[in-house]
Structure 1
Amino acid sequence: MALIYKIVALLSLVVSFIQITLGGFVRASESGLGCPDWPLCHGQIIPPMEFHTLIEYSHRLNGSVLGILVTTLLIICLINYRSAKRLTIANYSAFGLVVGAGILGGITVITELAWWIRLIHLGIAQILAACLMYIVWEFLFANVRNVHIDLSPIRAWKWKMVLCLSLVFLLMLSGSYMVGIGASSSCSSWPLCKGLSIPEGLTYQVHMGHRYISVLSLAFVGYVAIELITHSNGSRLIKRIAHSALGLIGVQIILGAITVWSGFSSHMKVTHLSVATLVWLSVILMSILVERSFSKIVFDSDMTVEKV
């Protein structure tokens, strides 16, 4: 049963990432009303084979698969791992989030793609992915209570991670807001907008606001990642996660520029969102590492545990 739970947990995380990517493609290709009704599509279980309809329908089907996987996770957890409080809470949370995301998906269609509903929908999807990442970590390393990182002072580092998570989450929501009000393609140059750092006009300012939040959040994530590498006590696991975060930051900056230079092609928009999700998940992992570092157990990348 442990192997089954591990497989379902990993599949849930992968499918949640695919769901976010598909959601981005639905939005970028303007296929949100490819299925104008809910929960059916054009009043049918199997809809017409049309481009926009198929894109929206694939998003719904993937969401259904995700719901089944998360429900399966919760059932297995309650049967076999109820005594693991953190894992149980995480599974209940994931179940509640996937139900909420499904309901909001229906409301999004009913309200004919209201931008603020789509923003909340994306936020819940990202929190769900973070929750599933935590479940994967908690179960794969169930025998490990903490990872030791030489961080001081502890309280300051806890606030650093809270700020890090908040900034990246705000970055993703600001991107959704920018797209929602039609400001995503307002600035056709990079890094400035029409040669100005603060252009006139609401749509231009919203677009540049997203860029400034990007600079602030990615710079702070980079700082935290470098600090973790510096204080990793030689742990290859910590270094790999921090290096991954740094690499993703670099890729995301380049993708942001290419998205502008490509004329805001739908494929680049989707890729930009996907990498943003990976940055978010890397920050989730770093936060778990920091939270687990405040103990007397050391865990290295060779999966050996030794008491200090």
Structure 2
Amino acid sequence: MKDESFIIKRFKRIGVLTIASVYILILVGGIVRSTGSGMGCPDWPKCFGSWVPPTSLEQLPSDYLEVYKEKRIQKNERIGRVLQGFGFTEVAQEIFAHPSQYIETEFNATKTWIEYVNRLVGVVIGLLIVLTVLYSFPFVKRDPKIFWGSVASLFLVVFQAWLGSLVVSTNLLPEMVTLHMALALVMVAVLIYIVIRVDRVKLLANFAIPSGKVRFLLVGVLLLTFFQVIIGTQVREQVDLVAFGANNLGRETWIERLGTQFYVHRSLSILLVVMNVALYIFMKRLGNKNLVFIATSILVVIAAEILLGIILAYLALPAMAQPLHLLFGTLLFGLQFLLLMIYYYAHKPNQPSPELVA
């Protein structure tokens, strides 16, 4: 029993640490976007052909702009041919035709090292997920879902790394950036699931009567938040296009030039607030301290998101607010998924053998 308790605690610790690291990476990734450092390293996995990036222009060849642009184009052509082979002809043609891959990005030491730190954090997460898989082996027979969930998170982080290389080679192609963000949310959900599941016996049979309305509301809120984060990512891509077209001048006019997605994103935030307030009321009625605490935390995060949204809209998109807005948006998704998992297991019957519980 003592060994089993140690195995569960060890797995939970590494799982929680990995989730925290993913959120740190999301914050760093937001800083990369807000500072325009996404192409600070024009190649992948190395940075300017080296595992440790340069600190001055003198360390680079005189024709470095042309060299790395040509490498990106060649890589995109290889990717395009593979996609065409699998039948994704339209996607391949868009990669071929998109002008972003032909843009040359001049060396900037600060931006290069910001992007390099972003990659280092990604490496740390990869190592933590490898440990998560190793620590999940004791659950292979008694609870395969924990093991396979850990393996799924490993596949996701490997795919994310590969997708990150495409983001670089396509010079931040909007569709690639959006997919990169969506998979980060999926990875957070998988990690939360296995961490909650491993110790779910403590949550079982907390409520006698499950509520279909509450579960429906929880799923609806979660999907809406996922959609909001994705739209927010696309709005951020529109900001980049407006900034590029304005040569990074007239920042106070950028909001006015954004398309429909910005107004959809802003309008849906009202619905999100209403649904989460309703969720809080339901949790309050249930009287479970853990659920009420998470529901309260959700409202606090939403309040921070609203404040940051106002700052972004009315103070000319300050760079410091952008990564925080992204971080709190993804944190909101994580808290909602956590609430869903705890509520789900609270309605399961408390059986003697936890491995028999779905």
Equivalent residue, structure 1, for 2:201: 143
Shift of 1:142: 4.1
2:151 to 76, 86, 92: 92
| Aligned-residue CA RMSD (Å) | 2.4
Kept in 1: contact 2:291–2:343 (CA 8 A): no
Shift of 1:16: 0.5
Gaps of 5+ in 1: 195-200, 298-308
Structure 2 distance, partners of 1:293, 1:185, is 48
Structure 1 distance, partners of 2:301, 2:230, is 18
Cα distance change of structure 1 residues 152 and 134 upon mapping to structure 2, 3 Å threshold: closer
Kept in 2: contact 1:36–1:42 (CA 8 A): yes
1:217 to 272, 287, 297: 272
Equivalent residue, structure 2, for 1:198: none
Equivalent residue, structure 2, for 1:178: 235
Letter in 1 for 2:261: V
1:6 to 12, 34, 52: 12
Deviation by residue 1:19-53 (Cα, 9 ceiling, x = unmatched): 11111111111101000001100000000231100
Structure 2 distance, partners of 1:21, 1:149, is 36
Deviation by residue 1:230-268 (Cα, 9 ceiling, x = unmatched): 223xx2111111111111111211111122233211110
Kept in 1: contact 2:214–2:282 (CA 8 A): no
Cα distance change of structure 1 residues 74 and 17 upon mapping to structure 2, 3 Å threshold: same
Paired residues for 1:49-68 under 5 Å: 49=55, 50-68=109-127
The answer to whether the aligner puts 1:122 opposite 2:177 as a matched pair is no
2:172 to 113, 120, 140: 113
Cα distance change of structure 1 residues 61 and 101 upon mapping to structure 2, 3 Å threshold: same
Letter in 2 for 1:23: G
Structure 2 distance, partners of 1:76, 1:18, is 22
Letter in 1 for 2:54: P
Kept in 2: contact 1:255–1:272 (CA 8 A): yes
Letter in 2 for 1:294: H
Letter in 2 for 1:55: I
Structure 2 distance, partners of 1:105, 1:123, is 13
The answer to whether the aligner puts 1:73 opposite 2:128 as a matched pair is no
Kept in 1: contact 2:203–2:342 (CA 8 A): no
Gaps of 5+ in 2: 1-5, 56-108, 244-250, 351-358
Cα distance change of structure 1 residues 48 and 245 upon mapping to structure 2, 3 Å threshold: same
Cα distance change of structure 1 residues 31 and 237 upon mapping to structure 2, 3 Å threshold: same
TM-score using structure 2 length: 0.73
Cα distance change of structure 1 residues 260 and 149 upon mapping to structure 2, 3 Å threshold: farther
Cα distance change of structure 1 residues 183 and 107 upon mapping to structure 2, 3 Å threshold: closer
Kept in 2: contact 1:146–1:294 (CA 8 A): yes
- What is the number of residues matched between the two proteins? 283
Letter in 1 for 2:46: L
Structure 2 distance, partners of 1:169, 1:150, is 30
Cα distance change of structure 1 residues 29 and 81 upon mapping to structure 2, 3 Å threshold: same
Shift of 1:147: 5.3
Deviation by residue 1:273-296 (Cα, 9 ceiling, x = unmatched): 111111111101111122123234
Q: Secondary structure at the match of 2:239?
A: coil
Kept in 2: contact 1:146–1:289 (CA 8 A): no
Structure 1 distance, partners of 2:281, 2:182, is 27
Deviation by residue 1:61-115 (Cα, 9 ceiling, x = unmatched): 100110111111112212x121213312321221121111111100100111001
Letter in 1 for 2:135: I
TM-score using structure 1 length: 0.84
Shift of 1:270: 0.7
Equivalent residue, structure 1, for 2:339: 286
Equivalent residue, structure 2, for 1:15: 21
Letter in 2 for 1:94: S
- Percent of paired sites with the same residue: 24
Cα distance change of structure 1 residues 270 and 127 upon mapping to structure 2, 3 Å threshold: same
Kept in 2: contact 1:184–1:207 (CA 8 A): no
Letter in 2 for 1:242: A
Cα distance change of structure 1 residues 76 and 296 upon mapping to structure 2, 3 Å threshold: closer
1:42 to 39, 43, 48: 48
Kept in 1: contact 2:43–2:169 (CA 8 A): yes
2:38 to 23, 32, 41: 32
Equivalent residue, structure 1, for 2:226: 169
Structure 2 distance, partners of 1:8, 1:63, is 16
Cα distance change of structure 1 residues 188 and 231 upon mapping to structure 2, 3 Å threshold: farther
Cα distance change of structure 1 residues 218 and 259 upon mapping to structure 2, 3 Å threshold: same
